[in-house]
Amino acid sequence: MKTIYVAGGCFWGVEKFIALIPGVASTEVGYANGNTEKPSYEDVCRKNTGHAEAVRVDYNPHKVSLTFLLERFYEVIDPLTLNRQGGDVGVQYRTGVYFTDSADEEIIRGSIALLQENYDKPVMIEVKPLVHFYPAEEYHQKYLDKNPGGYCHIGRDKFEVAKAAVDSATLYRPAEKAALREKLTSLQFDVTQNSATEPPFRNEYCNTFELGIYVDITTGQPLFVSSDKFESGCGWPSFSRPISAELLSELPDHSHGRQRVEVRSALGDSHLGHVFTDGPAESGGLRYCINSASLRFVPREKMEAEGYGKLLPLLGK
């Protein structure tokens, strides 16, 4: 298990959202990196203690990556505001990511650097080691579970997305590495688990353009549809977008002396390939360059029988 602390405004909603992410084992709200010991909620609100309302997140790194957790966290905050989220204003409502493992700092800063590319204004998320964290009073813990109609600055639609991810995780559970070694070919295992790259042009789906969906070879979770696949000339399957952004995680890749953005499956945490910005402009300008070995193609005529019938309408888009 690993632990990370995030602050993003009122901790009631942030805790509820993060707790829904598959791979998160437990959450606890509290007060982080302030100037006093063991503050009360009233102290934090009224006595200028400097604490941030934060959420302790214990997660299984074999089921969910820190990068993916941070990407979901960004979805429920305004990263450009200082000491304010929604209608809540004050130092206690600042945004921040606080770590206890120094190895996490590079991952966090790399993730925020990618986030910054989406904005012209500076991102205001502070990144610091955790100095201290004091659990909040019991009535704050799992507040929105106890009070479903309680105040929350996060839109209800965000919780629907998180719930859908939970439902998806129930259907497509990651396998242990030992089981994957038995299930996959040596190439599939090397690509998905060791971030290898298969040969260009000499791979299974490079020239496949029939109707259907492409699923994660390790979990069976749907990732791409044939209508978003295009011929890029690069030698690997290319897609303009995934079925949903929540299905993928992206992280900086500085291997081989190059700066690239790696793409991994969010649930299986399998290496898929890389995403580039030289895709078709009319489809958003992205090119997801994906290894065939990380995918399994399910043709349209087999989708219903294999449990993917609900995705059939996507093939016409």
The torsion angle over the Cα atoms of residues 300, 190, 1 and 15, rounded to 10 degrees, is: -30
Q: Is 206 a catalytic residue?
A: no
Q: Is 152 a catalytic residue?
A: no
d(CA 123, CA 128): 15
213 Cβ contact partners less than 8 Å away, ≥ 6 residues apart: 222, 223, 224, 225, 226, 243, 297, 298, 303, 308, 311, 314, 315
Q: Strand pairing of 95-99 and 88-89?
A: unpaired
Report the residue count for the chain. 317
d(CA 169, CA 247): 11
φ/ψ of residue 245, rounded to 5: -60, -30
Conformational region of residue 307, where left means phi above 0, alpha means psi within -120 to 50, and beta covers everything else? left
Structure tokens at 84: 């304010």
- Active-site choice (10, 45, 206, 234): 10
Task: Find out whether 143 and 150 touch, Cβ atoms under 8 Å.
Answer: yes
d(CA 300, CA 309): 9
Q: Which residues are catalytic?
A: 10, 289
